[in-house]
Amino acid sequence: MPPFDVPEGDPFGPHNLPYGVFSPPGSSERTVGVRLGDHVLDAGAAAHALGSPYASLLARPTLNPLLAAGRTAWSDVRRALTAWVTVPAHRETVEPLFHPLSEVTLHLPFEVADYVDFYASENHARNVGRMFRPDAADSLTPNWKHLPIGYHGRAGTVVVSGTDVVRPSGQRKAPTDAAPVFGPSVRLDIEAEVGFVVGVPSELGRPVPLGDFRDHVFGLCLLNDWSARDVQAWEYVPLGPFLGKSFTTSVSAWITPLDALDEARVAPPERTHGLLPYLDDAAEEPGGYDLRITVTVNGHVVSEPPFSTMYWTAAQQLAHMTVNGACLRTGDLYGSGTVSGPTERERGSLLELTWNGRDPLELPDGKRTFLEDGDVVTLSAWAPGPDGVRVGLGEVTGRVVPAV
């Protein structure tokens, strides 16, 4: 089907237009692309052909120049792209610049500057607390409802969807073992998350307030925070996640601009604790997003986590990670933390779905507590869009391969 003739209701229609970076068939050159249905538009070539002043931002091998350009440029480019793919007068010029999605090579869409991961789902945090602190009076840690808990990850191991995930090795020690051992992780897990991509940097020493969220954050994507639970359990006291997390983080090849998700904005869950002023969003626009995520293992649906249940919003996370004066850089990526809903079918990790391995999942190809070599995990999602149309998010897929 020609790219201009996207079926009505397609989740990647002209109401969406996510950005990525691709190589055309038979070429190793990378350039910015925009997805429309099952095609990719060479955005730089289109901008040049139509005389756009933003051609220099789009004819690049990475999204970073566009990310750094700021909100006015983001809006102008999006408005122009929408016209290029919908106005009949542009069809003759633009249509030859599309490539079938199945024939291009997709790349990591931006150069990741720093990577931070949060822990923002109350359902997930309570599940973890019940598993590992069963005798505690409260399944949440004392600070959990006062600040968004997070840790700094490793930007260099963020990979694009479709990249194989090598089973990590590390130290592990079961409670009954006399001493730690070294070897491949035997409790490899996933975490279904949403990642937020920073465009405009900030000045060192100047916190970013809640109201400036959309001036700095360009868009979002799905993110899988692969986790070696056995390595993590042995190493995380007292400084938190390290090698159990840093080996691989997978992100979608497509970044959905925030402007495509206006109809998906929702209020976060009711807060039961007073918030300090820099986190108090009562007077701000709704900070949550209604994203419906699906997790599959080897093609079998195992969970459908709802992002709308997340206690801490992306704006609060941004405000918190800069409140000490830490600066933002173009290409910073921060993850929401595992997305888990209130029911068993809505848990965003195998740790929760199997209750730390106690209750194996029944899959068509056998039982699973944690991931086996050869397993393929895919995250997909959609959000409500204009006039009832869905906004599709680019999927994230990874296949587990044996440790080296």
Cα 321 from Cα 370, distance rounded (Å): 32
Tokens of 109: 């869409």
Cα 341 from Cα 308, distance rounded (Å): 9
Contact 19, 219 (CB under 8 A): yes
Please say if 124 is a catalytic residue: yes
Contact 376, 399 (CB under 8 A): yes
With b meaning 16 or more CB within 10 Å and e meaning fewer, what string describes 105-128?
ebbbbbebbbbbbbbbbbbbbbbb
* Alpha-carbon distances, residue 233 vs 30, 152, 317, 328, 400 (angstroms): 40, 17, 25, 30, 21
Tokens of 54: 């933003």
Contact 260, 362 (CB under 8 A): no
Over the Cα atoms of the chain, what is R_g? 21
Tokens of 231: 């390595």
Of 113, 333, 282, 318, the closest CA to residue 207 belongs to 318
Q: How many residues does the chain have?
A: 404
Q: 122 Cβ partners below 8 Å, 6+ apart? A: 140, 144, 269, 309, 311
Task: Indicate the residue type of 183.
Answer: G
Contact 146, 320 (CB under 8 A): no
Cα 165 from Cα 190, distance rounded (Å): 11
**Catalytic residue selected from 99, 124, 216, 320:** 124
Q: 324 Cβ partners below 8 Å, 6+ apart? A: 207
Task: Indicate the residue type of 251.
Answer: V
Cα 78 from Cα 70, distance rounded (Å): 12
Active site residues: 124
